Amino acid sequence: MSLPSSQTRRAFVGTTVAAGAAVALVACGDGSSAAPNNEPSAPPEPVGEGTVVTTLAELAVGTRLAVTAPRTNADGKTKDAGFLLFRPNEKTVLAYTNICTHQGCAVTTKAPQGDDFYCACHGSYFQPADGKAVAGPARGALERIAAAIKGQDVLLYV
């Protein structure tokens, strides 16, 4: 077996590096051609009975909390899903899905800096007050979920 000439080997390495860069660019894209919506929407109105996900004692004013609740998808199947809660004042709880609008990783309440929601996959930050993407590669706001306070319980409507 003969080794390729240095010129051929250089061309091969150059082609390989270029192909690798193209794959990396595709992997970092959001995978969609539509522009994501980063305009905060109004919280949806609660419909149905709702699911108790926590209590006011566990969600003090000004704090954030990650919870799970069963959610029925478009295909009719129900499974546990992750949600993020924020309580801006005594009478309000805001809720969002924890699905990052960049590439779908789980967004958490634990940011390395500040009090925003955070996706560790590629470092996106989302405002708890409206779900808007404010830093990192995500360009779309988190999906809002209907939430309500009943007595001492916090309910989600999913």
List contacts with ligand FES (CB under 6 A): 100, 102-105, 119, 121-124, 136-138
Nearest distance from C-beta of residue 86 to ligand FES, angstroms: 18
Give the C-alpha distances (Å, rounded to integers) separating 32 from 4, 96, 99, 127.
40, 21, 16, 23
Identity of the residue, 14 or 29, whose beta carbon is nearer to ligand FES in the bound complex: 29
What string of DSSP letters covers 33-66? SSPP--SPPPPPPP-SS-EEEEEGGGS-TT-EEE
Identity of the residue, 51 or 103, whose beta carbon is nearer to ligand FES in the bound complex: 103
Nearest distance from C-beta of residue 138 to ligand FES, angstroms: 5
Nearest distance from C-beta of residue 125 to ligand FES, angstroms: 9
Identity of the residue, 138 or 141, whose beta carbon is nearer to ligand FES in the bound complex: 138
Identity of the residue, 46 or 136, whose beta carbon is nearer to ligand FES in the bound complex: 136
Identity of the residue, 88 or 104, whose beta carbon is nearer to ligand FES in the bound complex: 104
Q: 78, 61, 41, 71: which is closest to 156 by C-alpha?
A: 71
| CB-CB contact of 119 with 100 (8 Å) | yes
What angle (nearest 5°) sits at the alpha carbon of residue 85, between those of residues 108 and 106? 25
Nearest distance from C-beta of residue 23 to ligand FES, angstroms: 17
Nearest distance from C-beta of residue 9 to ligand FES, angstroms: 36
Phi-psi region of 19 (alpha: psi -120 to 50; beta: other; left: phi over 0): alpha
